[in-house]
A = this chain, B = another copy of it.
Amino acid sequence: MVWDDLARIRERAPLVHNITNYVAMNVTANALLAVGASPVMAHAVEEVEDFAAMASALVINIGTLSPAWIDGMRHAAREARRRGVPIVLDPVGSGATAYRTAAAEMLIAEAPPTVIRGNASEILSLATGQQGTRGVDSIHDTADATPAAKRLAERHQCVVSMSGPVDVIAGADRIIRVRNGHPIMPRVTALGCIASALTGAYLAVNPSPLDAAAHAMILMGVAGEIAAERSSGPASFQTAFIDTLYGITEPDLAERAKAEWL
């Protein structure tokens, strides 16, 4: 299933439109190219609607936010919504500053995303409306945040995909847990951003947002395990991770995937 979707991505090369942060842009584009998708990075109000309209998925990431970029995100998301293009929202740092929380909430209200993809602290901030995250790294556990993820999914009729040592993907009536990955992953920047972008690529080829979101996290986790075996620190991990996304095989995924559909 993870493999079938990946084979479809490689075959169809879906256009994934990203409005993402400065830190993640290069590695996000490379991760999308490695799985066979065609990434576009464009943020200006003057053209985002054109790209959102031709894209097979839109990925919005608020990692390095500013007013002009929020405008671009709004225009792109409304156009994607209008055309039925699936939307992934990565609310980086929601809960850390009022500005980010408000931006994420506004984007959700204006053009409800297909998948909200973040860490436990970000999901908690959106579900409960409370501030308190320190920075952009999670200080909460996905197990503790699962009820909040479920509520958020129900409230916005979307899927909530939450990364952590155990990933939790919550739909309106189902929960999936993914137990893949490696402890070095939080020591590498932008892997969460890549997870959001790959979720976009999977949404482009799989009509079930819950399955697409779960498959993307399984791919992330399995590729992370393989990359950890082939590297000797966080930077060589980043290189091995992209190489693994490019070369990963059906047996790699079949043998290593540890997901529970609950």
Residue A66 interfacial (CB < 8 Å):
yes
A234-B238 CB under 8 A given contacts A30-B189, A50-B96, A51-B97: no
**A232 CB contacts on chain B under 8 angstroms:** 243, 247
Chain A interface size range? 35 or more
Residue contact A26 to B29, C-beta cutoff 8 Å: no
Alpha-carbon distance A135/B40, docked complex (angstroms): 6
**A40 CB contacts on chain B under 8 angstroms:** 93, 96, 135-136
Which A residues, 226 to 258, have Cβ-Cβ distances below 8 Å to chain B?
231-236, 238-244, 246-247
A93-B15 CB under 8 A given contacts A234-B33, A243-B236: no
Q: How far is the CB of A36 from chain B (nearest CB, A)?
A: 8
Alpha-carbon distance A24/B22, docked complex (angstroms): 10
Residue contact A46 to B99, C-beta cutoff 8 Å: yes
Which A residues, 109 to 143, have Cβ-Cβ distances below 8 Å to chain B?
134-137
Contact partner of A137 (CB less than 8 A), chosen from B38, B55, B97, is B38
Which A residues, 66 to 86, have Cβ-Cβ distances below 8 Å to chain B?
66-68
**Identical chains bound together, number:** 3
Q: Mark A28-48, 1 if CB is under 8 A from B, else 0.
A: 011001100011111110110
Contact partner of A29 (CB less than 8 A), chosen from B23, B97, B240, is B23
Q: Mark A173-189, 1 if CB is under 8 A from B, else 0.
A: 00000000000001111
Residue contact A66 to B44, C-beta cutoff 8 Å: yes
**A93 CB contacts on chain B under 8 angstroms:** 40, 42
Q: How far is the CB of A66 from chain B (nearest CB, A)?
A: 4
Residue A221 interfacial (CB < 8 Å):
no
Q: How far is the CB of A111 from chain B (nearest CB, A)?
A: 20
Q: Mark A135-178, 1 if CB is under 8 A from B, else 0.
A: 11100000000000000000000000000000000000000000
Which 5 pairs of residues, A with B, have the shortest CB-CB distance?
A: A233-B243, A235-B242, A29-B189, A47-B99, A50-B97
**Inter-chain pairs besides A40-B136, A43-B66, 5 sampled, C-beta below 8 Å:** A29-B189, A42-B97, A47-B98, A232-B247, A235-B241
Q: List 16 A-B contacts (CB under 8 A).
A: A15-B134, A23-B25, A23-B26, A30-B189, A33-B186, A34-B234, A34-B235, A38-B135, A39-B189, A40-B96, A54-B135, A233-B246, A234-B243, A236-B240, A236-B243, A239-B239
